[in-house]
Chains A and B, each alone.
Chain A
Amino acid sequence: MAIRTKVMKRKEMTWWDQTYLPMLFGGLAITSKHFFVNGFYQTLRLFGLHKFYKGSVTFQYPEEQRPLSKRTRTRHRLTQRPDGTPRCVACMMCETVCPARCINIVAGEHPDPNIEKYPVSFDLDLGMCVYCGFCVEVCPEDAIRMDTHILDTASYSREGMKLDLHKMLSAKGAATPAEPAR
């Protein structure tokens, strides 16, 4: 097979182009347009006269959270039964599948004979978690979810990064429908 060469035709720069002036003024026109249009809308917004256009594409982070996708994996939570006890049956699936080994469950015997076990403690170390979501995928009981949309996890100590059963149960889910009563 013969090698075919495609010759790209590049546009020759005219003398006028080579002076750099058309590009210079074109660039200034673009930036000036942005300046005046954005400045106009930002000024209107500042005095509360206008809401729709922001005049900027950024989010003012701590006050204004960035809209997240429903499927974004964020901080974990444990779902509850209608009576408020954890849905988790301490099957250790998540602990086993976790690649970062950040989950540590201690199982106990559940008083209800229909439910085998319950977690006495459910510790999750966010400092080690890689947010892969395997624990959510593997859970047979839909007991662990990563839908709280809490992203700003920060602490001064390693201990502060650890979640216990209570913290995980009390977190609220965002953007997902309530778990079905089973």
Chain B
Amino acid sequence: MSADLAGFLIKLAIAGGFFGMVLNLAGLLTWVERKQSAVMQDRLGANRAHVVFPKWLFPLNWLVWLPNQLGLFHSLADAVKMFLKEDFVPDGADKFLHTLAPMISVVFALLAFSAIPFGDVWHVGGRDVALQVADVNAGLLFVFAMMSLGVYGVILAGFSSNNNYAYLGGMRAASQMLSYEITMGISIMGIVLSYGSLSLQEIVKHQGGTFFGWLPAWGIFVQPLAFFLFMTAALAETKRVPFDLPEGESEIIGYFVEYSGMKFGMFFLTDLVETVLVACLMTTFFFGGWQVPYLSAAGFHFPWGAEIAVTHGAYILLGVLSFMIKVAFFNWLFMQIRWTLPRFRYDQLMHLGWKILFPASLVNVLVTSLVVAWRAS
């Protein structure tokens, strides 16, 4: 009984730690978005929100000097602003669904994280701790189910707001998500076929080792086409700029026109959480998850013959670190794409989704199947 309790507590700690990490990263992304766009556009960006302690607490002032200069407290100020604003439900809106919509969005976006492995199994204190919230054996299906369910929040928000612009936004979200969900699902089938598993932990484990002795055996080298297809479709899933038709800031304000306060904040957070989620998925499927190049449980084994032994704890730590670095890289890349590319026109979006990405993903699955069948025979 006590052993079960300990296991439960460990699971709770892992879940809390991981979700805390994700939420903090999403909160930080609001700052990254401003700062990165500013630096790209030859500006300085957010640097106005300062925290200043009284003179006699001067060591704290030294501590907050860097965050002040970088404008890191803007995210905090945002959160305070969101919470203090009036929570407004428009006349004629469905109050229940209007309140439910942002919750659906954010809950399903966060639930999808529970199947993502962020480290190898950690043997500690005679116990095997899987660094993953839930080792679902059909984890891939679970993640995709959660991502699809998240769309309901957006659609409900559009339909329950009693506003034509919100309605339009909801419609666009529905059709866009539908179009790109298909490509996303099919493009990832190549990975599933290659690794023969739906469990994300299994997929990551298959990506250890090297090809030809020097190339890390990551998914991107097995399925290069699927990588680009999945990235495009996944970007569309996050509803951010090249694919922000449901939002369309400059034409219709989007499905969240009628939202204010923290309900709007939840939609905003969902976008960023989904960015993190997509970054995690890209890492897991195509960049070897927590795998470090040339590192196996025994230690580093470099292609030029050098070998460095690492302890088990260091191996696990390096894995988690590698996962975090890769996720951070993808977040950077998505931000860069978001601030570089203009929005697609609606027909271009549908053209890209149905006539280019969808057939390409089918061809990818076909070729992968043939190769897998040929190798098996």
Contact = CB atoms under 8 A, between A and B. Distances in A.
B69 A31 contact: no
Given A35-B36, A46-B69, A28 B337 contact: yes
A24 B341 contact: yes
Contact of B43 (A31, A32, A46, A56): A56
Interface string B41-69: 11110010000000000000000000001
B42 A58 contact: yes
A30 B337 CA distance: 11
Contacts of B337: 28
Nearest to A33: B40
Interface residues of A, number: 17
Interface in B334-363: 336-337, 339-341
Contacts of B376: none
A21 B70 CA distance: 34
B39 interface: yes
Contact of B39 (A24, A28, A30, A35): A35
Contact of A42 (B41, B44, B341): B44
A57 interface: yes
A41 to B, nearest CB: 10
A31 B42 contact: no
Interface string B1-45: 000000000000000000000000000000000001011111110
Contact of A60 (B38, B44, B341): B44
A11 to B, nearest CB: 21
B72 to A, nearest CB: 13
A57 B39 CA distance: 10
A38 interface: yes
A38 B39 CA distance: 6
Contact of B42 (A28, A56, A60): A56
Contacts of B336: 28, 31-32, 35
Nearest to A23: B341
A34 B69 contact: no
A82 interface: no
B39 A39 contact: yes
A58 B43 contact: yes
B340 A31 contact: yes
A27 interface: yes
Interface of A is mostly: helix
A57 B42 CA distance: 6
A87 B90 CA distance: 64
Given A42-B44, A46-B69, A56-B44, A34 B340 contact: no
Contacts of B44: 42, 55-56, 58, 60
A61 to B, nearest CB: 11
Contacts of A24: 341
Interface in B320-344: 336-337, 339-341
Most buried by A among B36, B42, B69, B339: B42
B184 to A, nearest CB: 19
A24 B231 CA distance: 14
A124 to B, nearest CB: 34
Interface string B64-107: 00000110000000000000000000000000000000000000
B337 to A, nearest CB: 7
A46 B65 CA distance: 11
Interface string A69-102: 0000000000000000000000000000000000
Nearest to A41: B39
Given A31-B336, A32-B336, A46-B69, A38 B341 contact: no
Contacts of A56: 38, 42-44
Contacts of B42: 34, 38, 55-58
Nearest to A39: B39
Most chain A CB atoms below 10 A, which of B39, B70, B336: B39
A38 B36 CA distance: 10
Contacts of B41: 34
17 contacts: A24-B341, A28-B336, A28-B340, A30-B340, A32-B336, A34-B40, A34-B41, A35-B39, A38-B40, A38-B42, A42-B44, A55-B39, A55-B42, A56-B38, A56-B43, A56-B44, A58-B43
Given A27-B341, A34-B39, 6 more contacts: A28-B340, A39-B39, A42-B44, A56-B43, A57-B42, A60-B44
Q: Which 3 interchain pairs have the tightest Cβ spacing?
A: A31-B340, A57-B42, A35-B40
Interface of B: 36, 38-44, 47, 69-70, 336-337, 339-341
Interface of A: 24, 27-28, 30-32, 34-35, 38-39, 42, 46, 55-58, 60
